[in-house]
Amino acid sequence: MINSDFISKRFQETLEMKTPNIRLIRDKNLPLKCFTGLVDGKLGLLFSYEGNEPDLRSSSAVEAKILESRGDHFIAFILNDRSFQGMFEVLFADLLESITNKKTESQAISELLSRFERWRQFWKNPPSALSEEKTRGLAGELYYLEYCLKQGLSARDTVKAWHGIDGADQDFVFENSWVEVKTIRQAATEVEISSLEQLSNPSEFIKTSDVKGTLAVIRMHDDPTGDEVFTLSDLYNRISLRLTESPEAHAEFVASVYRTGANLDKGQNETKLKLRVENMRFYSANSPDFPKLTRTPGIPEAVTKAKYWLSLPAIEPWMTEE
């Protein structure tokens, strides 16, 4: 089973051998042959291909290049700085997850390069350290993700649905529904909606009728006491434990959290800010008469952006069971 333990062990073995020794990863669900080994003395991931040479772009942390050996061609990702080995292990798992069960080589290569480009852009413009407010917001999204797992949703579908990490208008987009998660402080009486699109159906649902849209509001205490207190790091570890039996979902989850910039080992807010959820309320945001501002109907074309606040007591009539 390809998981984080397997990857760490494989890299450690590669470094201890101190030879180019390229080793195949055996997994029937991978449409490309994948290898690990040393390339010019550096840790490398290699994916074989037979089609046209792809266009590759590197980052300062990881070099992407084409290698040829005995007539075979490989897309190689090479770690330039050993201090980033932990990150490279996360990248490794994420790249493998991205191509798992793809039906053709061309599909696999397209997804492989697309996923690497997301990482390259992340390294190019890394997020700053999480503020207390961003820590609460991320904790709210992870709390809802954990809730979905507890409700029996599959690990893979739940993690795939988490779009908030990539700047989508809604935090979770499922097959025929979406959920926007808002985290508020204990005494809050209103919730901020940050755009005209946030409570609208995502573009993939434009031609779909009867889409369920939900506003999930999580009321969270700061620095509380009691048995239910947790930190962001605690919550991450709880979810990781639940995902261990689904390596693909676990790899994507770890990579997604990594791209937030959260430092789950040493970050001040991630490891020290104590939180406790008082309650989580759901509101039927796609009800015809739910009070919200959306792009259509009624918003003049000249209005390009808008932010507004909803009164929580006023939207109680739209409260629902999720």
Q: Domain end: 94, 124, 154, which one? A: 124
**pLDDT tens for each residue of the chain, 322 residues long:** 466 677 778 888 877 776 557 888 888 888 999 998 888 888 899 999 988 888 899 988 899 999 998 888 999 999 998 878 888 888 888 898 889 889 899 999 999 999 999 888 888 777 777 899 999 999 999 999 999 999 999 999 999 999 988 778 999 999 889 999 999 999 999 999 999 999 998 877 756 668 999 999 999 997 778 788 999 999 999 999 999 888 888 888 988 898 888 888 777 888 889 999 999 999 999 998 999 998 877 788 899 899 999 999 999 999 998 7
For residues 170 and 179, is the Cβ–Cβ distance under 8 A? yes
The parent domain of residue 113 ranges over 4-124
Closest CA to 112 of 171, 46, 178: 46
Both 117 and 161 in a single domain? no
Both 106 and 180 in a single domain? no
Both 107 and 155 in a single domain? no
**DSSP percent split of the chain into helix, strand, coil, nearest 5:** 35, 25, 40
Both 139 and 94 in a single domain? no
Report DSSP state, residue 162: B
* Cα distance between the two ends of the chain: 35
Both 17 and 48 in a single domain? yes
For residues 226 and 275, is the Cβ–Cβ distance under 8 A? no
Distance of CA 227 to the CA centre of its chain: 28
Both 65 and 155 in a single domain? no
Both 31 and 154 in a single domain? no
Q: What is the pLDDT of residue 7?
A: 78
Q: What is the pLDDT of residue 18?
A: 61
* Total number of domains in the chain: 2
Q: Domain end: 72, 95, 124, which one? A: 124
Pairing of strands 177-185, 212-222: parallel
Q: What is the pLDDT of residue 3?
A: 64
Q: Domain end: 124, 148, 174, which one? A: 124
Both 143 and 119 in a single domain? no
Contacts of 62 (CB under 8 A, 6+ apart): 77, 78, 79, 80, 84, 88, 91, 119, 120, 123
* CATH number of the CATH domain containing 46: 3.30.1460
Both 251 and 282 in a single domain? yes
The DSSP bridge partners found for residue 185 are 220
Both 248 and 211 in a single domain? yes
Both 15 and 113 in a single domain? yes
Q: Is 283 exposed, middle or buried (0-12, 13-18, 19+ CB in 10 A)?
A: buried
Tokens coding 264? 């789950």
Both 77 and 173 in a single domain? no
Q: What is the pLDDT of residue 2?
A: 63
User: CA 130, CA 4: separation in Å to the nearest integer?
Assistant: 24
